[in-house]
């Protein structure tokens, strides 16, 4: 168990409990989310340690580690994923001006994104902690990915692009992870980090039932202000922000089920639409945001 006496981002001791949230998807346990007023980070108090965390991922419905399409939410997830893989490739190539460079995907899951980029001519490397996901990446896409402890063996300044698609919020050892990103990235490279935004409309609408809290798997809960603080602390600058429009719908579907016990499709779509509408003029209000970072 990890009990924080200081904020894991800024080391302040002035944080306060904010919400008590249930793990609806796997354990049924409840966890307190604390808020730091100094840097803006919210974080899960008394989350499982890295050694204890595996049992909170051991469920078929945790679909980032599997390829199941059972149920409405899973089918929607895979339908959207097929569309977003190419859009991620396009975003990377347009933002970086590079085609066919070196790419590291941290938290690569079953390798679908790596496969898309490799097929487009990129030299890809994947880091994935889950044994089953790594085996699936090899069997499904013939891509050999590596456990996190192998990251030390990767050469410094060796990647044009590093991606973390909804991964940073899961990582134990935030400081070490950010330092490794800085070490591995080329001086003119870019990092793409996608995280949920707890200041979005759908987060406020669902409160403790918002599915993107995803405690205790999500150790940190980022706002745009917290991401700015994070980038500055570790000698990056945020070059751009890009919205993830589909996330509001997917998260709202899960949130409706958690709140009402029913898959209220129309209600979820309406909430997702309203969330996106509020974010059209300000990406900082989007349900999930892709932050594009570069070294200072």
Alpha carbon distance 102, 172 (integer Å): 25
The predicted structure's pLDDT at residue 71:
57
For residues 176-181, give the mean pLDDT: 96
Q: Is residue 133 part of a domain?
A: yes
Which residue has better confidence, 83 or 240? 240
Mean pLDDT, the chain, integer: 92
pLDDT at 218 over 60: yes
Tell me whether residue 21 is in a domain: no
Grade residue 53 by pLDDT with cuts at 50, 70 and 90.
Answer: confident
Cα–Cα dist 182/202, whole Å: 32
Q: How many residues in total does the chain contain?
A: 296
Host domain of residue 87: 68-295
- The pTM for the full model equals 0.90
Q: Does some domain include residue 193? A: yes
Instruction: Supply the pLDDT for residue 54.
Output: 83
Number of domains in the chain: 1
Q: What is the mean pLDDT of residues 114-120?
A: 95
Q: Is 120 a domain residue? A: yes
Helix axes 112-119, 131-141, angle to 10 degrees: 30
> Per residue in 14-51, pLDDT tens?
999 999 999 998 999 999 999 999 999 999 999 999 98
pLDDT above 70 (res 286):
yes
Is 32 a member of any domain? no
* Adjacent-strand bridge partners of 127: 106, 146
Judge whether 181 lies within some domain: yes
Based on the number of CB atoms within 10 Å of its own CB, is 195 exposed (0-12), middle (13-18) or buried (19 or more)?
buried
Q: Which residue has the higher pLDDT, 66 or 244?
A: 244
HEC per residue, the chain: CECCCCCCCCCCCCCEEEEEEECCCCCCCEEEEEECCCCCCEEEECECCCCCHHHHCCCCCCHHHCCCCCCHHHHHHHHHHHHHHHHHHHHHHHHHCCCCCEEEEECCCCCHHHHHHHHCCCEEEEECCCHHHHHHHHHHHCCCCECHHHHHHCCCCCEEEEEEECCHHHCCCHHHHHHHHHHHEEEEEEEEEEEECCCCHHHHHHHHHCHHHCCCCCCEECCHHHHHHHHHHCCEEEEEEEECHHHHHHHHHHHHHHHHCCCCHHHHHHHHHHHHHHHCCCHHHCCEEEEEEEEC
* Dihedral sign for Cα atoms in the order 116, 255, 293, 172: negative
Residue 280 lies in a domain: yes
Structure tokens of 292? 């594009």
Does 252 map to a domain? yes
As a whole-number percent, the residues of the chain with pLDDT over 70 amount to 92
At residue 130, the pLDDT reads 87
**Residue 194 belongs to domain with CATH number:** 3.40.50.150
């Amino acid at each position: 168990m990890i009990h924080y006496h200081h904020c894991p981002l800024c080391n302040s001791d002035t944080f306060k409990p904010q919400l008590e949230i249930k793990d609806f998807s796997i354990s049924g346990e409840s966890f307190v989310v604390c808020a730091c007023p100094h840097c803006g980070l919210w974080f899960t108090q008394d989350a499982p340690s890295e050694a204890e965390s595996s049992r909170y991922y051991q469920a078929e419905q945790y679909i980032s580690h599997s390829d199941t399409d059972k149920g409405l939410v899973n089918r929607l997830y895979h339908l959207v994923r097929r569309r977003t893989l190419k859009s991620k490739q396009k975003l990377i190539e347009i933002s970086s001006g590079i085609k066919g460079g070196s790419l590291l995907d941290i938290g690569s899951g079953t390798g679908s994104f790596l496969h898309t980029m490799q097929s487009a001519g990129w030299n890809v490397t994947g880091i994935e902690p889950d044994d089953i996901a790594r085996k699936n990446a090899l069997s499904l896409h013939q891509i050999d990915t590596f456990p996190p402890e192998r990251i030390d063996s990767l050469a410094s300044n060796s990647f044009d692009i590093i991606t973390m698609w909804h991964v940073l919020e899961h990582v134990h050892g935030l400081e070490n992870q950010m330092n490794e990103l800085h070490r591995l990235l080329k001086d003119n490279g870019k990092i793409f980090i996608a995280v949920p935004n707890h200041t979005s409309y759908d987060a406020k609408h669902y409160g403790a039932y918002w599915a993107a809290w995803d405690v205790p798997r999500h150790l940190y809960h980022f706002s745009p202000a917290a991401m700015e603080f994070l980038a500055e602390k570790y000698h990056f600058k945020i070059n751009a922000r890009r919205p993830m429009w589909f996330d509001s719908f997917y998260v709202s579907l899960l949130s409706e089920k958690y709140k009402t016990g029913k898959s209220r499709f129309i209600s979820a779509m309406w909430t997702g639409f309203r969330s996106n509408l509020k974010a059209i003029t300000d990406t900082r209000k989007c349900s999930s945001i892709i932050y594009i970072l570069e070294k200072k």
